[in-house]
Structure 1
Amino acid sequence: MITRRTHVALLAASVLLTGCGGGAVASTDGMPTPSGEPSRTTPAPEISVEVAPQQIPGLGPKTWAKVPAAARQAVVVTGRGRDSSASTVVLYERTAAGWRAGAKWPAHNALKGWTDHHLAGDLRSPIGVYTLTDAGGLLKDPGTKLTYDRGVGFTSPGTGFEGEPLAGSFDYVIAINYNRQPGTSPLDWTRPLGAGRGGGIWLHVDHGGPTHGCVSIAEEHMKELLLALDPDRHPVVVMGDAESLNR
């Protein structure tokens, strides 16, 4: 005969066997519950974990091979097309988890687009991966860790290709180390590849139209970029039209 005390003990043992925290509520899917209805197990919620890519999206093997292993910051300039002057800029930061993207900023590049072999006056921006070491501008240093040269040499008179005023375009600039001597002012005219290969390729303040060869973004974004770049993180710029970068 099962006494009331024995019945209570057996019930307690069965609860313990079902596991911790609500084991008495859930039962095997399809087994009848005390009401006679089949039970339904509630599936566990999916947990979404953001995983940073180990390689910057949009860069093919040929381009990626040119990114120095030491680089921990990459300003990626992606042109809309080979012959387009419209592009976007994204700052990527390398972390222990992978490359993390910042905001995407609209930008302009050269009037006629991009080229693998830049020449002086061709009105195309050079495709490639270049280091970033030096900055400057007409305005005072906003607090960048890059070497900063301030002076009236950054005055930008005249108008652009679409009649827009160029005043303020060089309020802030970052020299792109294409055909220049790193560690010098952006105004330095040393051309290791020769004058015929052009130079003076900068990141600078957008004036609302195409450039001669530089990449331009809004002044507020130039300031953000200057404050973010850190020589100890070996920043580079990766620039070109989307198709070329994906090679």
Structure 2
Amino acid sequence: MIRRRTAVALLASPLLLTGCGGGAEAIGRRTPARRPAPAPGRETPTAPAPRGIPGLGPERSAAIPERCGQAVVVTGRGRNSPLCTVVLYRRTGTGWQAGPVWPAHNALRGWSAHHMSGDLRSPLGVYTLSDAGGLLPDPGSRLPYHRSGGFHSPGTGFKGEQLEGAFDYVVAIDYNRERGTSPLDWTRPLGPGRGGGVWLHVDHGGPTHGCVSVSKAHMKDLLRTLDPGRHPVVVMGYADWLAR
């Protein structure tokens, strides 16, 4: 009887040791599952940053409202130069897309950060574009168009060139003016001493008093393209200032 119990005990003990020891050993050796490393070339691609407007630094870019979908960029050759270029940009899902580069004129003495009446400088800045008009019939403007005989422009420019036709088509730059009115309106919120009547208009072949001028064909392009629903602006200044 004693021998039989001893045999049972001897047979049972290895099973108990194996069950506990084996179980503990298996748990101790278990390691958490690891995710395989991504194969070379299979990293998740990141979307490229939207394209900005070439030539505009962080200050000028930040001044363009988020809702703005069209920007007329006027780049002067120098602080005291009357020569510039005009490019119409439109905002897309991947950034700003440029139109063609148009030759243009600005004021005789260049640019000013504090434009005053009669200083013969164009005002630096970012301004909305709200109203248009001209001596000729509306060519298909999306902006409100104000036709008037008041846009007649007799006389000669600084180089002796004829000014006739310079205001056939104009887009008012919202510097020191009342938005929603004709470009001919003389309301001056900053006072008359700060100038006004600053327009995009037809080029007459020479410097302006403060406006920006492009060819008649390009003015018609602007009138047909600038869309109030896209909240257009003009960004204007000489190249070094724009780059800040």
Question: What TM-score does the superposition give when structure 2 sets the normalisation length?
Answer: 0.79
Match in the other structure for 2:131 = 134
Aligned to 1:161: 158
Q: Give the 5 Å matches for 1:40-55.
A: 53-55=50-52
Give the match for residue 193 of structure 1.
Answer: 190
CA contact (8 A) 1:174 1:203 kept: yes
CA contact (8 A) 1:180 1:189 kept: yes
- Gapped regions of structure 1 (runs ≥ 5): 1-50
Contact 1:52 1:100 survives alignment (8 Å): no
Partners of 1:64 and 1:105 lie apart in 2 by 21
Secondary structure in 1 aligned to 2:101?
strand
Match of 2:174 in 1: 177
Aligned equivalent of 1:72 = 69
Structure 1 Cα separation of the partners of residues 221 and 60 of structure 2: 26
Aligned residue for 1:60? 57
- Counterpart for residue 23 of structure 2: none
Partner SS, residue 62 of structure 1: helix
Cα distance per residue 1:180-210 (max 9 Å; x no partner): 0110000000000000000000000000000
Structure 2 equivalent of residue 120 of structure 1: 117
Size of the aligned set, in residue pairs, is 197
Match of 1:224 among 208, 221, 224: 221
Are 1:213 and 2:210 matched, yes or no? Answer: yes
Corresponding position of 1:92: 89
Identity of aligned residues (%): 70
What is the rounded CA distance, in whole Å, between the counterparts of 2:113 and 2:207 in structure 1? 19
Q: 1:169 to 1:52 in 2, by over 3 A?
A: farther
Q: For 1:226 and 1:177, how far apart are their aligned partners in 2?
A: 16
Which runs of at least 4 in structure 1 moved beyond 6 Å after TM superposition? none
* Secondary structure at the counterpart of residue 131 of structure 2: strand
Q: Are the counterparts in 2 of residues 53 and 100 from structure 1 also a CA contact under 8 Å?
A: no
Structure 1 residues 52 and 141: alpha-carbon distance in aligned structure 2, compared to 1, 3 A threshold: farther
Per the alignment, in what secondary structure is the counterpart of residue 212 of structure 1? Answer: coil
Shift of the alpha carbon at 1:117?
Answer: 0.5
Residue by residue over 1:220-239, the C-alpha shift from the partner in whole angstroms, topping out at 9 and shown as x without a partner, is: 00001110100000000000
CA distance in 2, matches of 1:52, 1:64: 14
Richer in helix (by share): 2
Pairwise CA distance, 1:53: 4.9
Q: CA RMSD in A?
A: 1.0
Q: State the alpha-carbon separation in 2 of the partners of residues 145 and 164 from structure 1.
A: 31
* Whole-Å separation in 2 of the counterparts to 1:212 and 1:76: 19
SS state at 2:59 partner: helix
Distance 2:69 2:49 in 1: 14
